[in-house]
Structure 1
């Protein structure tokens, strides 16, 4: 017999990020005044064909409208599988679930042009699951003049903040971003630059694998300083927040243009240099904007890359942030892979309760806004 929930119900959070390897899902309750209670979690991978279709939609091409619609339908099917895994893993019935918060798959992010695009078919997901679906979290913030990203800092503040101590939460997904949780309660957050997006691209080219498992390729190489300087010569890294980015900027073409003068650099050295690029761009932003940070807590896929964590710690030791320990969010009670799906479950709850989900100080929006569009069961 399915265990039913108490308080406001169970929420599902579904997140498929910039790495585009699959969807992380979580079933969670948010008891008032208490930490979130995770009922189940699941990961459902994308087929090679779906992944290729999503990558192709990152750039302009023929017949985009139909290709996007078909990809959205395929995504909804994978989201449905993930939801059924969450029901089964949590011994839950669909009636116990208040809503599904689903981020969708970002294929374009151009807030400077007034739009951000997440492929999704939430109506189809609602039809298949018979559960309310909440989607399209970013566009309302963009409509209010914001970046539409990052949206997770408000959630980070709720679960990771500590009065009297400045902390940094660093998400190493396809793109790196940080949330600064100030000792006095202030919150800031923004994107720093590329992370797994370029590391995975290079691993696919030279290993034939979707990622550099354990950071072994990077560990076998050395940082090529002239290449690193060429990579760092990117205006985005000097922009002041609020700022956000994605594969629109940091993609294979961006990388190839900077690699062109360095044809003799080995594949391992390129991977080591890309690892250093991520570490340096994150560390610089923390040094600039959170020099009093007591610790950095890492989440996202990069938390499983020991070479990337080692590079981040070494960069801190060489900078003005020496003595700042780097650890994962596991130290705060939340496994790294759960953080983003938890955040979108939380944003779904905020939408249901008609509470704002954005932080104008983070995104640059004109004010607080309720985020998400509801697709009833």
Structure 2
């Protein structure tokens, strides 16, 4: 429809193209992050904090990108359900609660956190029903403590995966709406051996990163750039990414 209304070429179906070549279909930002690392001539690490978190790290000389699990989705879901708020501003509400180790351990046993990458996930797995399933295993846990523990779940699962990078003293670029939850971002940075890279250059910032990424992917598709099989999404074949309409 966009093509018909604007008479401008539209590039879409990036995810399905990646799946067709044996990949996970996400996170597609890993391709752009790999390009930026080459541009900076450094093995940069990346962390996207949205509803869910995804990273790009280095395993020796190979870049690998995958979803670590929930970022703000479960936090926001619990805020809406129990506190009538759309989100926890700066994570300040979570700071009023206490981390419940029994609840945390139950959630951390989820198969997704134990699975090896490449992998991707979403709200079809991690949702309110998932929270309640684990909450029922813990007696008398307060709603505020559930929020504090969900917040720490994000901090912990992201930190564990970032720590698997084999590049010493990596610089980490963090972007996405979840950056505003300073309790999460500072919690992650306190647990990893990486320095935060605050600027990536080229007019890119934490707000427009994904938009620029997909514009870059569209540019590559229009110019028939073939993406080779890689660990970024686990794609098994070379091919073009996306369809032109």
TM-score (norm 2): 0.90
Runs of 4+ in 1 over 6 A off after TM superposition: none
Q: Residue 214 of structure 2: which of 319, 336, 344 is its match?
A: 344
For 1:239, the equivalent position in structure 2 comes to 115
Pairing 1:213–2:80 present: no
Cα distance in 1, alignment partners of residues 24 and 97 from structure 2 = 36
Map of 1:147 onto structure 2: 24
Give the conservation status (yes or no) of the 8 Å contact 1:347–1:357.
no
Counterparts of 1:27-66 in structure 2, within 5 Å, are none
Aligned CA distance change for structure 1 residues 271 and 291 (closer, same or farther; 3 Å): farther
Structure 2 residue aligned with 1:170: 47
Aligned-residue offset at 1:160: 4.0
Quote how far apart the aligned CAs of 1:291 are: 5.5
SS at 2:164's partner residue? helix
Matched position secondary structure for 1:337: coil
RMSD of aligned residue pairs (Cα, Å): 2.1
Distance 1:182 1:231, change over 3 A: closer
Deviation per CA, 1:119-178: give whole Å up to 9, x if none.
xxxxx2223333221111111211122111111111112224443x43210111111111
By how many angstroms is 1:347 displaced? Answer: 0.7
Out of 130, 140, 152, the residue aligned to residue 276 of structure 1 is: 152
Using the size of structure 1 for normalisation, the TM-score is 0.60
Q: How far off its partner does 1:232 sit?
A: 0.5
Distance 1:359 1:303 in 2: 31
Q: Is the 8 A contact 1:189 1:362 kept in 2?
A: yes
Q: Secondary structure at the match of 2:217?
A: helix
Unaligned runs of 5+ in 1: 1-123
The aligned counterpart of 2:10 is 133
Question: Contact (CA 8 Å) 2:60, 2:166: kept in 1 or not?
Answer: no
Cα drift, residue 353 of structure 1: 0.6
Determine which structure has greater relative contact order: mean sequence separation of CA pairs < 8 Å that are 6+ residues apart, divided by chain length: 2
The whole-number CA distance in structure 1 between the counterparts of 2:148 and 2:7 is 47
